[in-house]
Amino acid sequence: MILKSFQLIDKKMPEINIKNLDNKRIEFTLPCETALLKLITAHVDLLHSCGGKGRCTTCKLKVWSGSENISEETHSEQNFKRLGALKADERLACQCVPLGSLEVSVPKSSQMPHLSYNF
């Protein structure tokens, strides 16, 4: 993934609320971190079988709100959407950079067996 310069929405640091992990909130300290990198460093386990290269779709996140606060879809995400492997309301955590607040959930296909999800 090529990182472009990103502009924060509302000049506040991005924040992710994970609805199906008891509404866990994660605040970003750097404005250009991918969602996957931030979740991992915040000790939130998320599948990422290809190591964050945008090749596997195991790091899916369903976006409930704030889709306008995320970086543009990468070619990898566009390709997976074209192939039907990624739904319109899903993003790859390894490819997207949150630029403002958003609410997400981890779809069943990407859930870790040792974590308890609300849905």
Q: Does 50 bind ligand FES (CB under 6 A)?
A: yes
Query: Considering the complex, what minimum distance in angstroms separates the CB of residue 51 from ligand FES?
Result: 6
Q: Between the CA atoms of 68, 27, 16 and 7, what dihedral angle is there, to the nearest 10 degrees?
A: 10
Within 54-83, which residues bind ligand FES (CB under 6 A)? 54-59
**Member of 3, 25, 41, 49 binding ligand FES (CB under 6 A):** 49
Residues 6+ apart with CB under 8 A from 51: none
Q: Is the dihedral of CA 16, 42, 19, 25 positive or negative?
A: negative
Q: Does 52 bind ligand FES (CB under 6 A)?
A: yes
Q: Which is nearer to ligand FES, 16 or 56 (CB)?
A: 56
